[in-house]
Amino acid sequence: MPKELSPNIQDYLKRIYELTRDGGMATTSELADLMSISPASVTNMLQKLSATDPPYLIYIKHQGVRLTVEGQTDSAQNPATPPSARRIPGRQVGLQLG
């Protein structure tokens, strides 16, 4: 049974997989650009995901990141949530106030 991962973590794992599926490492800048978030936010999440037990990824400062076997498995089992389907807490898309 797949682990229940937050949509945010699923997105990170899926994007890292997309950037590294041909080998090599993904950089913080590549992920930040792809996900439209700040490099500092990416670094913070990469550090958290590399500290899990077992770790989802291997993060090497100033070099990049790649998925562990656990991260590869979870990225395949938990498809990323498309941006259009994400919920914004306390807001409804398309709601007109007036």
Q: What is the pLDDT of residues 31-79, one digit of tens each?
A: 999 999 999 999 999 999 999 888 989 999 999 999 888 888 777 665 5
Structure tokens at 6: 């937050």
Amino acid at 46: L
What confidence score (pLDDT) does residue 42 get?
96
Q: Is residue 25 part of a domain?
A: yes
Could you tell me the sign of the dihedral formed by the alpha carbons of 33, 22, 16, 47, in that order? Answer: negative
Inside any domain, residue 35: yes
Give how many domains the chain has, as a whole number. 1
Mean pLDDT taken over the chain: 78
Whole-prediction pTM value?
0.71
Q: Write out pLDDT tens, residues 19-30.
A: 998 889 999 999
Domain that holds residue 20: 7-78
pLDDT of residue 3: 65
Q: What pLDDT is attached to residue 79? A: 52
Instruction: Flag whether 67 is in a domain.
Output: yes
**Percent of the chain predicted with pLDDT > 90:** 53
Which pLDDT value is given to residue 78? Answer: 58
What φ, ψ does residue 64 adopt, rounded to 5°? 140, -160
